[in-house]
Chains A and B, each alone.
Chain A
Amino acid sequence: MKKWQCVVCGWIYDEAEGWPEDGIEPGTAWEDVPDDFVCPDCGVGKEDFEMIEIG
């Protein structure tokens, strides 16, 4: 399981935890997160901005 960070605002997506608020189950790999996902903190889109792998 990896963590990904939004390069605009620093929000972290942890694959282990998913993002249940938007219906993304724990354990969802970043590549399986829907394309219309937007950063909960700053609103940039998945395709608009690369998340960087932080571990």
Chain B
Amino acid sequence: MSSREAPIVIIGTGLSGYTLAREIRKHDKDTPVLMITADDGHSYSKPMLSTGFTKDKTADELAQSDAAAMTEQLGIELRTLTHVTGIDPDAHEVLIGDERLPYSRLVLAWGADVIRLNLAGDGLDHVYSINDLMDYRTFRKAVDGAQKIAIMGAGLIGCEFANDLRNGGYEVEVVAPCETAMPGLLPPVAGDAVINGLREEGVSFHLGAAVERVDAAGDGVRLHLDNGQTLEADRVISAVGLRPRTGMAQEAGLDVGRGIRVNRLLETSHPDIYALGDCAEVDGHVLLYVLPLMSCARALAKTLTGQPTEVAYGVMPVMVKTPCCPTAVYPPPADSDGEWHVEQNGNSVKALFRAPDEQLLGFAVTGDYAIEKQALAKEVPPIHG
């Protein structure tokens, strides 16, 4: 088979992979598409994993379609529970053990790995990370009958889970080395508002402290913090961050930075290999959010169906799903010249980052100000102007 007759191969069936396949089919019903996933191929929206307890949804209820339905809907071939073991860019082949699958174009949409802390102790079986629907399924089972959950990390996911589990009726304690919520995303005044909002919901925080050791204790665990404190909990969530999966790309000789490096056409450093979503560093940006990957999927679908199209990132505020203190943020570009101007009323914060010429470059709004996010989004320049 010549490589042009081979299918477009997409590795990964998360939001990136399936959105790309759906977009390809809007332009082209016929080109064969083969998708490969290490999980069971259920279609689901990852942001919904952060509101599952509030809405009391099981993993099955969050799944929008199973693999068989997706195969039919999209007119694709799909291999589930299949681990790709390598890529041979010169031969245009994907390796699955001894098997070699040819591709015409290859798309890497395999996401990011959770960062795992190096913890001591004999209670690590009770520590969970929730990064996909199968993790969510496992965790739901693990907290059946549990009362108290400890969360390591006060980033976006740690805060969203804290709010969600509290809404689900659990006692929640958050341990994080930072001094406020989401320090990488929010100015401190907005992070403090989220912390206060969560505290008012009954979430306890241990900030400026890290977990060193997790020991088994009864059916749960005892956490030892580096400030000498100990905490008891039934189960533990580790939410200390994500790292784009780059290992196999690097082994195949692709250019890799913080993510798999691609240009605005989503091309990697090798011909006919593309990347998008949580594994990709797009034109220097690593943005592990929904709106960027949707933009990439739309542009790449056009490129793959004969209309080369650069992705153009617009203004993409990040919505933080903490209903006790709704929050939206559009961080200013790194190293921007300017300063934050803050209006505050309790947990409602409007922080505007303005350049010396008053141009709005970024914003963070919480509480009652959160509804201004769309109006503010119209004032800031897009990432790709």
Contact = CB atoms under 8 A, between A and B. Distances in A.
Given A9-B48, A48-B294, A41 B321 contact: yes
Interface residues of B, number: 19
A43 B51 CA distance: 16
Interface string A18-31: 00011000000000
B71 interface: no
Contacts of A41: 319, 321
Given A7-B45, A22-B374, A42 B51 contact: no
B294 A49 contact: yes
Nearest to B298: A48
Between B15, B294, B371, the greatest number of chain A beta carbons within 10 A of the residue's beta carbon is seen for B294
Given A21-B371, A41-B319, A43-B317, A10 B290 contact: no
A8 B319 contact: no
A9 B321 CA distance: 10
B45 A10 contact: yes
B376 interface: no
A9 B45 contact: yes
B47 interface: yes
Contacts of B45: 7-10
Contacts of B48: 9-10
A10 B298 CA distance: 21
B47 A9 contact: yes
B287 interface: no
B64 interface: yes
Interface of B: 15, 45, 47-48, 51, 55, 64, 290-291, 294, 298, 316-317, 319, 321, 328, 371, 373-374
6 contacts: A8-B45, A8-B290, A10-B48, A41-B319, A42-B47, A43-B317
The 9 closest A-B CB pairs, nearest first, are A9-B47, A8-B45, A10-B48, A42-B319, A48-B294, A43-B319, A8-B290, A43-B291, A42-B47
